Amino acid sequence: MTASFITMRKLLQMQPGAPLWPEGVRVVSFIPEQHAEAVHQLLARAYETGGGHIAPFALWWEELKSDDEYDPALVFLATDGCGSLVGVAQCWTSAFIKDLAVAEGWRRHGVATTLLQHAFDVFRMRGAPWVDLKVEVGNPSEAECLYRKVGMTPMDVG
């Protein structure tokens, strides 16, 4: 049986205010040599409880960096005051959010919301008319609620 997904879309018509990062959290540039393994670990932990799956690091990293839509500038990292990774939004050049994950202790603190808003801003500046993502049907309902809260609307189920 194959999983079903809901495609959700955020239209990028209006210019919002700057994302307000939670206290002690900031966005940092993705440096593959420094961050790739930590990103993989965060995604693996998130998918254990939130559905989905991720390949072992070597395979995941090779597939990611060799994908035509991969751009390291579109991997958005949120770190705490000590520089520890607390969240990631990994996006494709087609204005698609491939992965979004927040460390368990940082959930419900606005990290995911702010990462999404940051991604929307970057794609708006790149001239994208919208941003899409897919959420697995049956994924914890909090995920779909979060996407609706930031203005995303369901497009289809596939």
The answer to whether residue 110 sits within a structural domain is yes
The confidence score (pLDDT) of residue 137 equals 75
pLDDT of 2 higher than 60? no
The confidence score (pLDDT) of residue 135 equals 86
pTM across the whole model? 0.90
CB burial of residue 50 (10 Å; 0-12, 13-18, 19+):
middle
The answer to whether residue 88 sits within a structural domain is yes
How far is residue 39's CA from residue 35's CA, in Å, rounded to a whole number? 6
29 three-class SS:
strand
pLDDT tens per residue, range 47-96: 887 667 899 999 999 999 999 999 999 999 999 989 999 999 999 999 99
Which residues, listed in sequence order, are joined to residue 131 by a DSSP beta bridge? 10
The confidence score (pLDDT) of residue 1 equals 43
pLDDT tens per residue, range 122-151: 999 999 999 999 987 766 567 888 999 999
The answer to whether residue 49 sits within a structural domain is yes
Residues 6+ apart with CB under 8 A from 128: 12, 95
The answer to whether residue 157 sits within a structural domain is no
Instruction: Kindly report the CATH number assigned to the domain that includes residue 100.
Output: 3.40.630.30
pLDDT of 158 higher than 60? no
Distances in Å between the alpha carbon of 148 and those of 8, 24, 46?
9, 26, 20
Number of domains comprising the chain: 1
The confidence score (pLDDT) of residue 51 equals 66
The answer to whether residue 158 sits within a structural domain is no
Structural domain of 26: 5-152
The answer to whether residue 45 sits within a structural domain is yes
